[in-house]
Structure 1
Amino acid sequence: MEHLLILLDVIKKLTTLNLSEINQHEWRIFQAYGFFLLVVFLSLVLYSYLYHLYRAEKNGERNYEKYANLVLDDSINDSVLENKRSA
């Protein structure tokens, strides 16, 4: 509970631009919670993107096996994998 109060106090000081009133201990606590929230957010983004890739391949919208083969067998005479619409 003490850390939550420190966190809210640091946010209040940041929004009012009283940066000189934030001591080093409060700033370290704020950084630690910010880092943890950033890691959680980026993990959620990564797993949602992986789920999107899995679902797109499962539904047949994309075939990522072709892209993997393109890396291994790349030649100037190969055909185009996908025809894209022009805007």
Structure 2
Amino acid sequence: GVGEWYGKLVAGLDAATLTKFAHENFPEGRPLCPFLQAAYPGQICNKAGGVCTIRQHRYHTDNSVTVAGSRLITICPNRFWDQNKIFGWIGQ
């Protein structure tokens, strides 16, 4: 399932925020991409759906969902720009 949505960990989001993200209901404008801010201040999320990472979830018989692992898997290339860390990794 979704790990980070518009730069926010899904596990910490309330139902109202999840609904807003699911319907892409942003009357104030699309959210900023938090991972591009160091390189491009003010840059909004530039992809439909806003999913940054995915992760494994576990579904239970009571219809609840929990995070099955702590590992996030990046699916948006902008995620690699977080605080421009990618450039340090390349230089190693």
TM-score > 0.5 by shorter chain: no
Structure with a larger share of its residues in strand: 2
Name which one, 1 or 2, has greater alpha-carbon Rg.
1
**Higher RCO structure, 1 or 2 (CA under 8 Å, sep 6+):** 2
Between Structure 1 and Structure 2, the one with more helix by share is: 1
TM range (shorter): under 0.3
